[in-house]
Amino acid sequence: MALQLNGGVWCLYQSRANWGKSIKHQQERFVIKAVASSEDYAAAAATATAKRQPISEEKVKLGASDVEVTRVGIGAWSWGDTTYWNNFEWDDRKLKAAKAAFDTSLDCGINFFDTAEVYGSRLAFGAINSETLLGRFIKERKRKDPDADVVVATKFAALPWRLGRQSVVNALKDSLYRLGLSSVDLYQLHWPGIWGNEGYIDGLGDAVEQGLVKAVGVSNYSEKRMRDAYQQLQKRGIPLASNQVNYSLIYRLPEENGVKAACDELGVTLIAYSPIAQGALTGKYTPENPPSGPRGRIYTSEYLRELQPLVNRIKEIGQKYNKTSTQVALNWLIAQENVVPIPGAKNGEQAAEFAGALGWRLSKEEVEELRSMAKQIRPITGFPVEKL
């Protein structure tokens, strides 16, 4: 997902200079050795082999780039986060669960993982940076499976004091350091800057030309900002690969503000964060059992009561296909074409369920029926920078 604005606290950035001490402390505190345990990996792999076979479906390219991803990816915002997810705590059990989410995703055929420099970072009051965890997970997987297909996307935080194109390149190098990689597949501007956006776009182009990234994108960009970025990169012969925005059955602003249509016109892939509305579309929450923490302020009992008829219909359609409500909600987005949803997976069970959204399609009639029902529900509040 995008940068979270919660209680007036902005998720912030951590430089490489302070990161070395911080990551050493976090590694000692959270006993990362659990991730590297060959016994744990072998057990997880055996379970995946027995119960979770890869789901076959053609990969898609991100925009006009050469980067190929599965039609469902995995968002890694919750990995290491303690401000919005994980009930303000992070421990060895949750670390193992995140590792299982990564491994199970690959076992089930999902190859695309989206993170960001602000996810889980210390200055965002997190426990350990999501990029660092993803990098460790990749390293461990590659030891067992050198040919593992892992596509990594991360993001640049457009903080007010970051000025000029070089700030983008420097931040990417810091991200690569945390990831333990020499390059990433997709680098995105996490949100529009208050100023200096042209410099940021130039920085994306510089990163491509320096071989630090294969494809570049934006996130939370309006139609106009996206078109401007597309044209600026086009002058250098670099395609804008993607725009990552909040998009789900009950948050269809990209359809209403021209972003989706512009993505389709320009050949820019729309990456959908919060595709299951942070769990609201799964049937997990009810008016009597709303989510806890910050999400409870958005998905209140009153709102969930209004949502119930749609949730019930999603469940009915899922029963027809022997699919869960989560899989139906994700498949609805896949059916829009040129959309790659990236739900957040906290554990292996969730990752396996997300993979079940692949390999089948809702009918056109079902897609339109669900959209029609969703239109009767008042929209939730989105991320403020979408309207910049």
Which residues have a catalytic role annotated? 119
338 DSSP assignment: S
Rounded to 5°, the CA angle 97-102-103 comes to 95
Q: Counting Cβ atoms within 10 Å, is residue 295 exposed (0-12), middle (13-18) or buried (19+)?
A: middle
Kind of pairing between the strands at 68-69 and 74-75: unpaired
The radius of gyration of the chain from alpha carbons, rounded to an integer in Å, stands at 20
* Assigned token pair, 54: 């890869």
Distance CA 316, CA 200 (A): 46
CB 262 within 8 A of CB 223: yes
Distance of CA 311 to CAs 173, 295, 344, 370, 377, Å? Answer: 43, 18, 19, 10, 11
| Rounded (to 5) percent helix, strand, coil in the chain | 45, 15, 40
Distance CA 98, CA 80 (A): 9
Distance CA 233, CA 178 (A): 27
According to DSSP, the residues that pair with 245 across neighbouring strands are 272
Distance of CA 271 to CAs 198, 340, 348, 365, Å? Answer: 22, 5, 22, 24
CB 63 within 8 A of CB 215: yes
* Assigned token pair, 385: 């920078």
Sheet strands (E) in the chain: 5-6, 9-10, 60-61, 68-69, 74-75, 112-114, 151-156, 184-189, 213-219, 240-246, 269-273, 339-341
Distance CA 125, CA 8 (A): 13
Q: Counting Cβ atoms within 10 Å, is residue 68 exposed (0-12), middle (13-18) or buried (19+)?
A: middle
194 DSSP assignment: S
Give the number of other Cβ atoms within 10 Å of residue 65's Cβ: 22
* Assigned token pair, 338: 């040129």
